[in-house]
Each structure stands twice: as C-alpha cells, then as structure tokens.
C-alpha cells in the first residue's frame, strides 16, 4: 500500500513539474511574441458597434494588419479621437477639409498611413490649402457612407467643403445585409443590432485578441485553409456578377442595384443641402484592369476567375455612370487610368486584392490633377 501511495505521489509530482515547465515555456513564448512581434493582429480592436453608423473605428485604438503571404510588412494601425485613421487631432481651420469616404480600399490597412491616399495628398503638398481625411472603413457600403456623413462628419467642425466618395464593386452586397427581408426599409434608421459586428464575441476571436501564441499559430495556418471557389449569386457576395448586362440580372439583383443607387443619391442630396461638393470615384474590378491584377486572390475570392483571366466588360461602370449623370452627380471612372498605370506597377495586391502603395499614389495623383483642373 505504501508503495502504491509513493508511486501516486511521484506521478503527481511529475505531472506538476511537467505542467510547470509547459506553463513556463508558454509564458516565455507569449511574452516574446508580444514584445518582439506586432500584437494584436486581429482587426477587432479597431472596430466597434455604433448607434449612428452601425459600426465604425474605435476611437484612439491601435492594432496591426498582417499578410498571410507576406505581401506587405506588418502595418501599425492607429485611429484618432474621431475614429479616423491617423493621429492628427488639430488642423488649421483656415484649410479646406476634404473627406475621403469608402470601404477597405480607402481605409487601406495594407499600407502604412503615410502611403495612403489622404497622406500622400497632405504630405506631398500637392494642394497646399486643403487637408484630406481618410474616412474609409472596412466592409462599408454606400448606406454606411451615408450614415457616417449624416451622423458623424457633419457634426464635426469645421464642416467639409468636399466629399470624395469611392464606390466599390462590392458596395451592393455590403448594403444588401441591411434591407434583406425588410418590406419597409428606412435608410434613416440604424439597425437595432449591428449587421456586421453581431458575431464579434466568439471564442476564436477572444483567443486572437488575448493570446498572442494562438493568434500567430492561427495566422501561420491561414494559407493552408483557403476555401475552394463557390459559384453563388450576387446577393450572396460575389461582386463578379455586378459586371453583367441588365437583361441578364435577376429581379432581386436589379433591386439590389436600385437600393444602393438610392443611397448614393441620398448622399448627394445631403451634400447639396449642406453646400458640400461631392465627387464619386468608381473603383474598377481588378480583372478589368489587367489579366495579372489580383491574379492569385481572384481565383479564390473572385467568383470563378482563372489566374490569368481578364474581364473586358464594362457593364458595372456604364450602369453607375448613367445613374450619376442622370442625377447630376459628378462621377469619375478610374478604369482608364488604372489600365495605363498597371504597366508601371501592380495596382492591387496579388492575393489580398486591395490597393498597393503604387495604387495609392495613382489615385492621389488623379485626385490632385482633378481638383487642379477645376480651377
């Protein structure tokens, strides 16, 4: 009996020692990762539910963006007390304020702040009497842009003299989640529960935000769990089907376009009432620009493209340009300049699909030229 008790005690001691060593090793790894590498690397710390915009950037928040294929170095993301990307808080009121609205293409988490459209325009002194503010937010559609302008930007001083609204091909599907299944959708009423952040409390996300070891192991695993391409309708999220003729659209898809265009018109009306000039810039679908743009990512996320496939159709741009012209909304199609500039460098990252630093410079120069031509 004494021999059995001795063996049990020894086993417990061995287990305790093993656990102590494992915990010590884990703590060393955890501290090293938190000290030597960017953390947290989840986008969640920089977003929060909003009563007026559904969701937006968390004020004074910091996080990092990383690439599973190392297309770009880890990018430190900082948001100021207004929720805009950057640390600027005081700006000379004598300057003209221009807000750049859009989704993740404008927020540009893939490039350092100094390489974003707004900061290129500000730092290069392209237009010395104007100050540009990056008001982009990932997963924003046109409805979100409308709420952001109406309930946030117009309440800040000084008010903007101009709004540059970037229209992305996936804005239609980003808007769809708000009015899907609602017979009497009112765009002036914010959803009671966030349509985007309602799933933000999963165990997986908690672990990513609080345990660096788990976050980095998950990050390393990302390239190995790429999903297979799934053919679905536009309303389920594939923007490729935006670029087809009207006669090939299903009734639900035509309704989808109509709702987003109505929201764009509301932004225009809001700007007119506040004596703010508005310009819409149409972001091309990458395969329209060049066969090798977004060449890896479009196979997985693009709705069934092949690696070197291009898309020569322009139904997406033609439809939106017609709508803007008929409603006297100033609109600029970026497709032509992108086709020219892609010869000098990639506009979109091969996998990530967002604008490269070169793409940011191309747009900044275009905006600068566009505003100078008006004088």
Q: Tell me what pLDDT residue 90 has.
A: 66
Q: Which two tokens stand for residue 202?
A: 């999963």
> Which residues face 64 on adjacent strands?
76
50: nearest Cα among 97, 98, 82, 85? 82
Tally of residues, the chain? 375
What tokens appear for 269 in the block?
């009306």
Does residue 274 fall inside a structural domain? yes
Token output for 182 = 């609602």
Q: Is the CB of residue 38 less than 8 Å from the CB of residue 72?
A: no
DSSP 137: -
Residue 339, pLDDT score? 97
247: in domain = yes
Contact status, residue 175 vs residue 290, Cβ threshold 8 Å: no
For residue 197, give the H/E element and its range. Answer: none
Q: How far is CA 323 from CA 172, 173, 188, 268, 332, in A?
A: 14, 18, 22, 12, 13
Domain that holds residue 169: 87-194+220-373
pLDDT at res. 187: 86
Q: Is residue 101 part of a domain?
A: yes
Supply the pLDDT for residue 92: 65
Whether residue 181 is contained in a domain is answered as: yes
**Distance between CA 358 and CA 348 in Å, rounded?**
9
CA angle 94, 98, 99 (to 5 degrees): 135
Angle between helices 251-273 and 142-151 (to 10 degrees): 20
Strand ranges inside the chain, DSSP E: 47-50, 54-57, 62-65, 75-78, 96-101, 130-134, 162-167, 277-282, 330-333
- What's the pLDDT at 237? 55
pLDDT, residue 43, reads 72
Q: Using the structure block, give the residue that is written with the tokens 């700006």.
A: 91
- Alpha carbons 274 and 160: distance in angstroms, whole number: 9
Say if 117 falls within a structural domain.
yes
Alpha helices by DSSP H, listed for the chain, are 2-36, 104-107, 117-123, 142-151, 171-179, 203-210, 212-221, 251-273, 286-289, 297-301, 315-326, 335-341, 357-373
Q: How far apart are CA 348 and CA 289, in angstroms?
A: 10
Q: How far is CA 275 from CA 46, 301, 324, in A?
A: 32, 40, 18
CA atoms within 13 A on the CB side of 102: 27
Q: How many structural domains is the chain composed of?
A: 1
* pTM across the whole model: 0.87
- Interatomic CA distance for residues 131 and 78, integer angstroms: 18
Would you state the pLDDT for residue 126? Answer: 60
Greatest CA span in the chain, whole angstroms? 98
Nearest Cα neighbor of 83 from 109, 57, 52 is 57
Does some domain include residue 323? Answer: yes
Residue 25 lies in a domain: no
Q: Average pLDDT for consecutive 10-residue bins of the chain (375 residues)?
A: 68 78 80 78 82 90 88 93 84 82 96 95 76 94 96 91 95 87 80 64 76 78 59 59 87 87 96 97 96 88 79 94 97 97 96 95 94 74
Please indicate, yes or no, if residue 32 is contained in any of the structural domains: no
Tokens linked to 244: 């087809």
- Which CATH number covers residue 291? 3.40.50.1110
């Amino acid at each position: 009996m004494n021999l059995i008790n001795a063996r049990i005690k020894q086993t417990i001691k061995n287990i305790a020692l093993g656990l102590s060593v494992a915990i010590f090793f884990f703590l060393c790894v955890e501290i090293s990762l938190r000290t030597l590498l960017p953390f947290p690397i989840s986008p969640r710390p920089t977003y929060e539910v909003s009563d007026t915009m559904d969701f937006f950037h968390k004020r004074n928040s910091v996080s990092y963006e990383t690439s599973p294929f190392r297309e770009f170095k880890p990018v430190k993301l900082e948001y100021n007390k207004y929720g805009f990307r950057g640390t600027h808080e005081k700006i000379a009121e004598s300057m003209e304020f221009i807000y750049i609205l859009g989704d993740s293409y404008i927020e540009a988490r893939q490039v350092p702040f100094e390489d974003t459209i707004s900061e290129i325009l500000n730092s290069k002194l392209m237009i010395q009497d104007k100050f540009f503010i990056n008001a982009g937010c990932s997963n924003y559609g046109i409805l979100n842009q409308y709420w952001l302008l109406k309930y946030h930007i117009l309440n800040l001083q000084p008010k903007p003299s101009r709004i540059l609204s970037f229209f992305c091909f996936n804005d239609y599907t980003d808007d769809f989640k708000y009015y899907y299944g609602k017979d009497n959708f009112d765009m002036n009423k914010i959803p009671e529960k966030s349509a985007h952040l309602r799933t933000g409390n999963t165990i997986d996300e908690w672990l990513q935000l609080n345990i660096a070891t788990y976050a980095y192991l998950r990050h390393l695993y990302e390239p190995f769990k790429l999903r297979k391409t799934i053919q679905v309708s536009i309303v389920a999220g594939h923007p490729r089907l935006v670029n087809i003729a009207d006669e090939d659209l299903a009734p639900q898809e035509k309704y989808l376009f109509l709702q987003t265009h109505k929201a764009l018109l509301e932004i225009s009306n809001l700007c007119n009432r506040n004596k703010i000039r508005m310009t819409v810039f149409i972001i091309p679908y990458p395969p329209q620009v060049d066969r090798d743009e977004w060449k890896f990512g479009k196979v997985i996320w693009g709705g069934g493209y092949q690696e070197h496939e291009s898309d020569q159709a322009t139904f997406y741009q033609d439809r939106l340009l017609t709508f803007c012209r008929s409603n006297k909304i100033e609109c600029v199609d970026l497709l032509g300049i992108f086709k020219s500039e892609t010869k000098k460098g990639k506009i979109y990252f091969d996998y990530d699909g967002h604008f490269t630093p070169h793409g940011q410079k191309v747009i900044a120069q275009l905006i600068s030229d566009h505003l100078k031509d008006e004088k």
